[in-house]
Structure 1
Amino acid sequence: MEAVTAAWERYAAGRTPRRAVNAAGATTWLNWTQYADHGPDESLLGPLRGRRVLELGSGSGCNLAHLATLGAKCVGIDIAPSQRAKAEARWGNVPDLTFRTAEAAEFLTDHPDSFDVVLSIFGPVWFTAPTALLPLVRQSLSAGGVFAFSHTPPKAGPQPGGSLREARAVSRWDYSADEWADLLASSGFSNVTADIIAPPEGEEEGTLLVRAEA
């Protein structure tokens, strides 16, 4: 686990701060894709006011802070301690917004039936064995709760080592939309949708966005 934490600390150190304002002039916003000002917004999570929201891999807190401004009661976890420091420095004055340093599976194990929404944007859902993580997400959600996550789609054609790739200390599970749908169904989720968001003009890689209900 120390090696994994160190890897994410290195990643965090290389990230640039998010813009203060987006193209629409908003100071907070949620972005599911890897491209600025592109893709759907938070509406796919359903009503947010008063809802308990958990973000897995909350990073510097920008996406979760937006949900808190909409009235959600938000908790963000990240395995890299420096990410919590960045998030609290920028968003510490936002009500009902808490950041913690934690590994996703360990945190979920300790918080059954604690949230109405769980989301992960290019986060731990992509980097944790789904057979272990998805049942924990399911048990952390209230009845009818929403689980949504995004990452880049798997590359076309055979990949070395199959879906599981090794990148130093961090493993990544590259599954297709259909594979995620099957995994979620086997973990007790329903109403699963999994779609590829087309990239903006001039870009080649889309974004896989998955939504399911507990």
Structure 2
Amino acid sequence: MDGIELHQADALTYLGGTCTIFDAVYSVFGAAWFTDPGLLLPVVRASLKPAGVFAFSQRPPVEGCYGCQASYIPRGLDEDPAVVKRWDYGPDAWALILKEHGFVDVSVSVLAPPSGSRRTGTLPVRSIRGG
């Protein structure tokens, strides 16, 4: 596609080390879920042009489990599970966090999973870099 550049790297390292200013930053079940928003959001905001879009998706939080949570990822039979931190917030909390970091026109919702699915749905977020 003409005019599109895709980058795959550690978000904090890449965005913190580039002078490129982006029209949009997207994270699909990625950096926005697995990186402390207090570290990530300032770097994302600094990497966006004014009115640039920051959009991401993740799984909605489990009721009562908010903030930094541990994910236990199974590995081999003789290995302990890998432990990965993730940041789980509901729509209202995400909206507040983004606004506190200079984002405006924040839209957060929860999309239900397909009928009959055992999955939990998706939490899509869209925001604009404020002035």
Partner residue, 2:117: 203
Partner residue, 1:74: 5
Select 1:121's aligned residue among 28, 34, 43.
28
What TM-score, normalized by structure 2, do the two folds share?
Answer: 0.82
**Matched residue SS, 1:73:** coil
| Residue deviations 1:73-96 (CA, integer Å, cap 9, x gap) | 21221xxxxxxxxxxxxxxxxxxx
Partner residue, 1:189: 103
Partner residue, 1:135: 42
Gaps spanning 5+ residues in structure 2: where? 72-81
Aligned length: 118
8 Å CA contact 1:112, 1:139 repeated in 2:
no
Partner residue, 1:43: none
Larger fraction in strand: 2
* Greater RCO (Cα-Cα under 8 Å, separation 6 or more): 2
1:99-178 to structure 2, matched below 5 A, reads: 102-112=9-19, 114-156=21-63, 158-159=64-65, 162-167=66-71, 168-178=82-92
Aligned-pair CA distance for 1:165 = 1.6
Q: How many Å separate the matches in 1 of 2:86 and 2:21? A: 27
| Residue deviations 1:109-165 (CA, integer Å, cap 9, x gap) | 122552101000000110000011011100100011111000110012x33xx5322
Q: What amino acid maps onto 1:153 in structure 2? A: P
**Matched residue SS, 1:76:** coil
**Matched residue SS, 1:165:** strand
How large is the RMSD of aligned CA atoms in angstroms?
A: 1.6
Q: How many Å separate the matches in 2 of 1:72 and 1:201? A: 37
Q: What amino acid maps onto 2:4 in structure 1? A: K
Larger fraction in helix: 1
Q: How many Å separate the matches in 1 of 2:3 and 2:89? A: 30
Gaps spanning 5+ residues in structure 1: where? 1-68, 78-101
